[in-house]
Homo-oligomer: A and B are copies of this chain.
Amino acid sequence: MRKGPATRGIGPDEPLGFVIASVGNAAALAFETALAAVDLHPRHFAVLRGLRGGAEQTQQQLAASLGIPASRLVGLLQLLIERGLVQRREAPHDARVKLVKLSPSGLTELRGLLQLAGESEQRLIRGLTEQEQAELRRLLGVVYDNVALERGSGPARVW
């Protein structure tokens, strides 16, 4: 043998950019699969996550913070409200505005989903020591910053 270092399934001459992209895609798919077990999609998770602070928000605010058109939020909220995970009421001072927030069971659900995400993640990083995990996070952080630099703001949403 000649060099040594040992990336097995991955083709050592595979461009690193492709490796990052395909591993990232696989990570997203793994989480999507995990979420499917509770019949949710990552985009619903993202909405719940956007409400994690607990405070009431207008749909405009929430949509803006998620980086999606308000019209798209409508359908996502509909499902979450049907399931009792999100509460909605008319704003007292302006009948046009609606305020949404996480319901108590929505908060519980969100915690469960984060747990789920953690388990999915554990399967991804199985075999890495604590130090290696930290190093991976640090290195990806640099890449993340480079991307953020190249585009206007931070990397786009995954879903």
The chain A residues found within 8 Å of chain B, CB to CB, are: 5-10, 12, 15-31, 114, 117-118, 120-121, 123-128, 132-148, 150-151, 154-158
B residues within 8 A CB of A23? 20, 24, 140, 143-144, 147, 155
B residues within 8 A CB of A143? 23, 26-27, 124-125, 128, 136
Query: Copies of this chain, how many?
Result: 2
Instruction: Find out whether the CB atom of B127 lies under 8 angstroms from the CB atom of A26.
Output: no
Instruction: Find out whether the CB atom of A139 lies under 8 angstroms from the CB atom of B144.
Output: no
Of chain B, the residue at the smallest CB distance from A127 is: B142
- In angstroms, Cα B127 to Cα A91, docked, is 49
B residues within 8 A CB of A155? 22-23, 25-26, 29
- Of B28, B123, B128, B145, the residue contacting A150 (CB under 8 A) is B123
